[in-house]
Amino acid sequence: MKRHIFKLCSFLLLGAIVNVAVAWVFVAAPVEDTPYDGLTPDEVALWNRYAPKNYAQRPDETLVSCKNIAFEWSKMYADNNDGEDNHQEFAATEYGTFLWAGWPAKSLFGYHFICQRNNVIEDEVSHGILSLRGLNTAGRVHWYPAQPLCRGFLVDTIFYAALLWMLFAAPFHFRRHRRIKRGLCPACGYPIGSNEVCTECGAPLPVPPL
């Protein structure tokens, strides 16, 4: 029983590692920007949920939106004139970038907000973002989402753990099962007699059904 739990935990741990590896490989892969016209209600909701309190109430536009099978990101901006003056040139431009990664489900998330006025950074807020410079030679995306999304992370971890089990453990599991059914030693395939251990390899034998 203990051995089974250890095995299960090992496969889940490996599944989690593969899950993160797959997600980040897709983040590092160069993706084409798709110019995006108009914001979806989901994107507006995202901005409103995560933007710092002093930021604009809602974004004006999505600048870029990149999507591929395991990686997705949106970048939005808003001009916030703080209510002090109505001149557009004094407005602070606020950018919000949202990143997701993971396949088959989105398993990692992160976001970054930055406020600029006259090309000077006034404020920067980052959450769940791992900044690894130099890993991506395409030079575009340096940010890796690193906050696990509970359900997606679980789904992907189980998915990869099952895949690894099928690749590395299932063949042995089924061979053992087949040998027992045919009356052979599960360890070496030698025909079993009436002994408690295999006369060929010394492995303990399952009790034959009466």
- Complex with Zn ion: residue 13 or 203, whichever CB lies closer: 203
Catalog residues that contact Zn ion under the rule CB under 5 A.
185, 187-188, 190, 198, 200-201, 203
CB of 186: closest distance to Zn ion in angstroms?
A: 8
- In the complex with Zn ion, the residue whose CB is nearer, 106 or 179, is 179
Closest approach of Zn ion to the CB of residue 208, in Å:
15
Taking the least distance from each CB to Zn ion, the nearer of 115 and 198 is 198
Beta carbon nearer to Zn ion, 54 or 199: 199
54-80 burial, b at 16+ Cβ within 10 Å, e below that, comes to: ebbeebeebbebbeeebbbbbbbbbeb
Q: What is the DSSP letter of 197?
A: B
- CA-CA distance, 32 to 56, in Å (whole number)? 28
Q: Choose among 62, 58, 66: nearest CA to 37.
A: 62
For Zn ion, the closer of residues 170 and 188 by Cβ is 188
**Least separation, in Å, of the C-beta of 201 and Zn ion?**
3
For residue 111, list its beta bridge partners: 98, 127
- C-beta of 172: minimal distance to Zn ion in Å? 14
Other beta carbons within 10 Å of 48? 13
Reduced to 3 states (helix: H, G, I; strand: E, B; else coil), residue 207 is coil
Torsion angle of the four alpha carbons 131, 148, 112, 33, in this order, in degrees rounded to the nearest 10: 80
